[in-house]
Amino acid sequence: MSSQAGADQFRHAFREEAREILVDLEAALLELNERRDDMELVGLAFRALHTIKGSGAMFGFDELAAFTHNLENAFDEVRAGRLAVTPELVDLTLAALDHIRAFLEESPQIDSAAREQLLARLRSMTAASEDSHVDAAQVPEPLPPVDGVRPGPPVEDSLHSRTLVDAQRQ
User: Amino acid identity of 100?
Assistant: I
SS3 108: coil
In a domain, 126, yes or no: yes
Q: Is the pLDDT of residue 23 over 60?
A: yes
pLDDT of res. 84: 95
Total domains, the chain: 1
In a domain, 1, yes or no: no
Torsion-angle region of 16 (φ positive above 0: left; ψ -120 to 50: alpha; else: beta): alpha
pLDDT of res. 126: 86
Tell me the per-residue pLDDT of 48-74, one tens digit each, with 9 for 90 and over.
999 999 999 999 899 999 999 999 999
pLDDT of res. 135: 37
User: Amino acid identity of 42?
Assistant: V
Instruction: Supply the DSSP symbol for 154.
Output: P
pLDDT of res. 129: 64
142 vs 37, which has greater pLDDT?
Answer: 37
In a domain, 136, yes or no: no
In a domain, 93, yes or no: yes
Long-range CB contacts for residues 7-11, cutoff 8 Å, separation at least 24: 7/59, 7/60, 9/167, 10/59, 10/164, 10/167, 10/168, 11/59, 11/60, 11/61
pLDDT of res. 6: 67
Contact 159, 17 (CB under 8 A): no
Tell me the per-residue pLDDT of 26-39, one tens digit each, with 9 for 90 and over.
999 999 999 999 99
CA gap 100, 3 in Å, rounded: 26
Domain that holds residue 77: 9-131
Provide the sign of the torsion angle of the four alpha carbons 39, 45, 49, 52, taken in this order: positive
pLDDT of res. 89: 96
In a domain, 150, yes or no: no
Residue 42: give its domain's CATH number: 1.20.120.160
Question: What is the mean predicted confidence (pLDDT) over 16-44?
Answer: 97
Q: Is the pLDDT of residue 153 over 70?
A: no
141 vs 61, which has greater pLDDT?
Answer: 61
In a domain, 146, yes or no: no
In a domain, 77, yes or no: yes
In a domain, 155, yes or no: no
